[in-house]
Structure formats: structure tokens, C-alpha cells
Chain A
Amino acid sequence: MEGSISQLGQYLGAGLACVGMAGAAVGVGNVAGNFLNGALRNPSAAAGQTATLFIGMAFAEALGIFSFLVALLLLFAV
């Protein structure tokens, strides 16, 4: 119970950093949704674009992973 202000800041900051993962979730959902949208309009072209889909998802997801990393750094490494 004698935790300091800096510890409070760490935990608050970690929680706030995790909000950034919501953005990644929106981004990944956006990528997948738009891919599905296009794929249903033109199913014959969809098979050739799965690589692009995964690249886009990876880029969108990486930023969420960064925010998760910031949260972990705040919790454990500061």
C-alpha cells in the first residue's frame, strides 16, 4: 500500500497504452472487411490478393503490437 506516485503513473500509463491496441483492432478489421467486400464482388480475383491481405494486416497489427510493447515496458522495464 505504500506504492509511490511513479508506480501509479506506470500502471496508468500501461493501461492507457493498451488503448492503442483498439486502433490496431479497428485497422485489422478494416483490412479484412474491405478485402471480403472486394472478394465477394469479384471472387475470381480474390485468390491472387491473399498475400496483399496478409501484408496489410501485418502492417496494421504491428502498430497495435507497438502499443502493447509500450505497456509491457511501462509495467516491467521502467
Chain B
Amino acid sequence: MANETTGAVTSATEAAAGHATEAATAAGHTAEAAGHAAGSAGMPQLDVSTFGNQIFWLLVALVLIYLILSKIALPRIGSVLANRHGTIAKDIAAAEELKAKAQEAEKAYNQALVDARNEANRIIAATKAEIQAELNVATAKADAEIAAKAAESEVRINEIRAGAMAAVSQVAQDTAGEIVGALGGTADPAAIVQAVTERLKG
């Protein structure tokens, strides 16, 4: 429809231009006949003898440009632009999707982090309790050993003390008998024992 109309217009204009061309050439001839004096000084734009030429070549140029643009260039650029719009829309949708995925992944990551932290805390607490229990056991064992050792030592010390006491009274009796003998007396061992015992009791 549009093309028909435009075509009709173009042909109409061409027809008009054809008439104009004839008229213009006729006018040009008369102008030439009239003389060159006005032609050289006047405006080139008003030189009617060139109008036909310009209009003819203008129409040729316009038809060529119209054909080139409407047949080749404009559909091509239009399809490229439409393609690009499609691609951009698709890319944006894909980006949205990726973004949602990324957010999901971030959420999962955070969840995993929280889980891991809880797990770690739990393990720490358990280990601590275990260590504490072992420690308690070891402490108790050590305490028992220490107590046993201490009791043993006590016994030994008492023995040693008793032995030492016995030795001390023996040594004292012997010493007292020797001292009495050295002083020239004879000592009744029983009396010495009694005396030493009494002194030792003090």
C-alpha cells in the first residue's frame, strides 16, 4: 500500500519533472538566446537552464538511495537491532537467574558455616568433657597412689623411729655401763637399765 502510493507519487513527480525538464530546456535556450550578461552575474541557483539536469540526477539519486536503503540496509539494521534486544533481554534473564542461584548458594554456604560452627562447638565441648573425665580419673588414681605411698612411708618412718629409739636406749645403757666401769665401780646391769630407762623417759 505504502509502496504503491509512494510509487505513484514518484512516477507523478517524474512525469512532472519531465515536463519541467522540457520547459526548462526551452527556457534555457531562450535565455541563451537572450544573452550571457545576466547569466554570469546572477545566482547560480536561479539559472533555470541547469534545473532539468539537477532534477533528473536528484531523482536518480533518490530512487537509488531509496532502493538501497529499503531493500538492503534498513531490514538488516532492523533485524540486528531486534536481535540485540532479544539477546540483551535473554542475557538479563540469564543474569537474573544466575543472581538467584548465587544468592541461593550464598545462603547454603552460610547455613553450612553455621552448621560447621555448631558441630565444632559440640566437638569441643565433648572433648573437653572427655579430657575432664580422664583427668579426674588420673587425679584420683594419683591421689590414691600418693596416699598409699604416704601410708607406707609412715609405716617405715615409725619402724625407723622405733628402731632408733631401741638403739638409743641400748647405746645409753652401753655408754652408762662403760662410764660406770671407767669410774671404777661395778655396775649392776639391771640397775643401769632401769636408770637409763627412767632418764630417757625424762
Contacts and interface: CB of A to CB of B under 8 A. Distances in A.
Contact between A and B in the complex (any CB pair below 8 Å): yes
Interface of A: 72-73, 76-77
Q: Is the interface of A mostly helix, strand, loop or mixed?
A: helix
Interface string B25-44: 00000000000000001110
Contacts of B46: 73, 76-77
Interface of B: 41-43, 46
7 contacts: A72-B43, A73-B43, A73-B46, A76-B41, A76-B42, A76-B43, A77-B43
Contacts of B43: 72-73, 76-77
Contacts of B42: 76-77
A44 to B, nearest CB: 26
A72 B43 CA distance: 8
A73 B42 CA distance: 8
Given A76-B42, A77-B46, 8 more contacts: A72-B43, A73-B43, A73-B46, A76-B41, A76-B43, A76-B46, A77-B42, A77-B43
A76 B46 CA distance: 10
Nearest to A76: B43
B65 to A, nearest CB: 23
Nearest to B38: A77
Contacts of A73: 43, 46
B135 to A, nearest CB: 77
A73 B46 CA distance: 9
B31 to A, nearest CB: 13
A5 B43 CA distance: 22
A68 to B, nearest CB: 12
A12 B163 CA distance: 159
